[in-house]
Amino acid sequence: MEKDADIEEQTQHLDDDSDDIVASTQTPSNNDKVQSQETQTSKRNKKRKAREDPMVKGFNDAVACLEKISNKISKGVEREEDIDNKRATISYEISKMQTLTQVE
């Protein structure tokens, strides 16, 4: 797996180097050269994004799924705490009512 990552990194560097060689062999004006380099950089970025590692994508998907599950669990815990608080309040009110009836 590390070998694949190393090969991928070397391929990216070769692509970058070849793009730089092509850019340096052309002799456009300074402004055109800057625009050309920006275009080449955006092309390289698109290539890298297109070569996204499936393991990274899988990991990111798993993290997103775990985040959703965590949010659901946290909401469930909040609801349980709310129910416990209401249960305690009701029990307290019932005990007050019972003491009032006993006094009368």
CB atoms within 10 A of CB 83: 10
Residues 59 and 93 in one domain: yes
The pTM score is 0.41
Give the tokens for residue 1. Answer: 């797996």
Residue after which a domain boundary falls, among 30, 51, 72: 51
What tens-digit pLDDT sequence spans the chain (104 residues)?
556 656 666 666 555 555 555 455 555 555 666 566 667 777 777 766 667 788 888 999 999 999 999 999 999 999 999 999 999 999 999 998 888 877 66
Segments forming the whole domain that contains residue 102: 53-104
Residues 34 and 74 in one domain: no
CB atoms within 10 A of CB 48: 13
